[in-house]
Amino acid sequence: MFRYPESPGTFLQVGRGAQIDYSRTNQGYVVGSYLSDGIRKVKMVCTHKPSQRSQTYAIPSDGRPKAFPLCFSDGEYVISIYHQVEGAKYQTDSTIVFNVKLDDPLLPWLYPNTFCAYDKDSPAVKMVQSLFRNVIGDGLMMKVWFYWIIENISYDKKLAATVKGGWIPNPNQVLEAKQSICWGYSSLFAVLRAMGIPVRIVVGHAGTTYHSWNEVYIKSGIQLTPTWYVKGGQWTRLDLTFLDGGTKPLPSAEDFVKNDANYKVEYYG
């Protein structure tokens, strides 16, 4: 089943150019937009009151709607959109408080969003559909896509040295360029969502390095490498950037990636 965010819906919060569509929170997402000059910085802050955890997202100020995951599960959320006045000073444009009861806890990770943008006609979606034409089972699909990315995408050292704050990857651009940095790898891998496989894009620290990786949830376990069996029915961390050995996963990186102590999550996308 191909899932795609729907907007506008029935429940909208509008204020001074900002719009928050919270019509389908049961599906694990909201849609935010801001119509202004297309230049000023705009951000949306999503706070989960039960856990007091917050996540901040950038929103374009040209009116384009963007989907954002409700990544803290069920409970009461407070979402606010702010625009930059000057420097670090921001002004509130719209705020909404609502309760979330997900139809399924995996749903936030089955839709495209601002960090993994695609539709049914996107080249990245067409690619996975082509690769999986004769592949049965979510575990095997995940393995095929994992190896395809390792074999066909290379690390972009130039981008790594010049990337600026606010850069967000696009999986179709990564596919076209055949190279990217860690966030591009994780964005492209997350296109598995289009095939009904839940994937998280994770941003945080691996060791002391600011980094991005994935967590994937498959129903059927699979032997990913000769020494790594990925179990079904649970989230598994996969770090394609570190594991990329050109034509196969790097055995030397497996132990690092498997060790929870080496990773610290800042947010999910």
The enclosing domain of 64 has a CATH number of: 2.60.40.10
**Predicted local distance difference test score (pLDDT) of residue 244:** 83
Residue 104 CA from chain centroid, whole number: 18
- Whether residue 229 is contained in a domain is answered as yes
Query: What are 64-113's pLDDT values in tens digits?
Result: 899 999 999 899 999 999 999 988 899 999 999 999 999 999 999 999 99
**Do 65 and 137 fall within a single domain?**
no
Cβ–Cβ < 8 Å for 214, 263: no
User: Does residue 56 sit in the same domain as residue 134?
Assistant: no
* Total of domains in the chain: 2
Domain boundary at 72, 105, 138, which?
Answer: 105
Q: CB 31: neighbour CB atoms within 10 A? A: 22
Residue 264 has pLDDT above 70, yes or no: yes
Domain span at residue 178? 123-268
pLDDT in tens, 10-60: 888 888 889 999 999 999 999 999 988 766 789 999 999 999 999 999 988
DSSP-derived pairing of the beta strands 222-225 and 228-230: antiparallel
Percent of the chain whose pLDDT exceeds 90: 80
- Residue 249: Cβ within 10 Å count: 23
Tokens 């856990």: give the residue: 51
**Cα 216 to the chain's mean position, in Å?**
11
The pTM (predicted TM-score) of the whole model is: 0.93
In a domain, 4, yes or no: no
Q: Residue ranges of the alpha helices (H) in 123-239? A: 123-131, 138-152, 157-162, 171-177, 182-189
137, 220 contact by CB (below 8 A)? yes
Judgement on whether residues 178 and 71 belong to the same structural domain of the protein? no
Does residue 187 share a domain with residue 97? no
- Mean of pLDDT values over 202-212: 94
pLDDT at 8: 85
- Where do we find the tokens 């029935």? 10
Contacts of 124 (CB under 8 A, 6+ apart): 118, 171, 172, 174, 175, 188, 191, 194
Task: Record the tokens describing residue 142, joined without a space.
Answer: 């995940």
Other C-beta atoms closer than 10 Å to the C-beta of 121 total 7
Please report whether residue 2 resides in a domain.
no
* 254 and 173 assigned to the same domain: yes
Summarised one tens digit per residue, pLDDT across range 238-254 is 999 999 866 567 777 89
Between CA 138 and CA 120 the distance in angstroms is 19
pLDDT at 38: 65
